[in-house]
Structure 1
Amino acid sequence: MVREEKRLTAVECHNEAWAEGLSAGIEAEIIAEAALATAFAEILRNNGEDAALALLDRMREKVVAGEFEPVRVRH
């Protein structure tokens, strides 16, 4: 439960930072690349290369599975 609460708080913080970046005129692709670079640098620093590569694998699986696709409402 605590982990999920932390995850939701992190998502909220990232959403706010994303919105601020867009408001500053920064393209979404640039914001995304900066966020990913920051995240992977932090994981490498704290947990090493294996952890970073494992995260890349998990994220790739989620992309392939369509987990990040926009929700489509069907009528």
Structure 2
Amino acid sequence: MLDLPKNELDEIIQAEKKQVALEYHNEAWADGISEGIESEILAETALATAMTELVRLYGEDHAIDMIDGLRRRVEFGEFRANQTIQ
């Protein structure tokens, strides 16, 4: 077994979980598109589902903080499809 500090192992586990979650989301997205659902509808419902869950788990203040963080990331271009890394 790997001999890593607990915090490093936890980070690896979290990264793997995020990768699997991304794969599930991509598969669901592709299924929706193949069923004729527009990307805008898929995106809006994904965001609404995620925000509903965050409010349920952590409350409205946390969800608002997350929205603010996402806004800054959008403004910095993090989510552009054709980003250029400098």
- TM-score normalized with structure 1 length: 0.90
Counterparts in 2 of 1:45-56, with a 5 A limit? 45-56=56-67
Q: Does the aligned pair in 1 maintain the 2:77–2:83 contact within 8 Å?
A: no
> Counterpart of 2:19?
8
Who wins on radius of gyration, i.e. which is larger? 2
Counterparts in 2 of 1:9-24, with a 5 A limit? 9-24=20-35
The SS at the match of 1:53 is helix
Which consecutive unaligned segments of at least 5 residues does structure 1 have? none
> Counterpart of 2:54?
43
- TM-score normalized with structure 2 length: 0.79
Residue 30 of structure 2 corresponds to residue 25 of structure 1: no
Larger RCO (CA under 8 A, 6+ residues apart): 1
Q: How many residues were matched structurally?
A: 73
RMSD in angstroms over aligned alpha carbons? 1.3
Cα distance, 1:2–1:24 mapped onto 2, change above 3 Å: same
Which consecutive unaligned segments of at least 5 residues does structure 2 have? 1-11
Q: Whole-Å Cα distance in 2 between the matches of residues 22 and 66 of structure 1?
A: 25
Q: Whole-Å Cα distance in 2 between the matches of residues 9 and 68 of structure 1?
A: 19
Q: Deviating runs (4+, > 6 A) in structure 1?
A: none
- Give how far 1:26 is off: 0.3
- Give how far 1:59 is off: 0.9
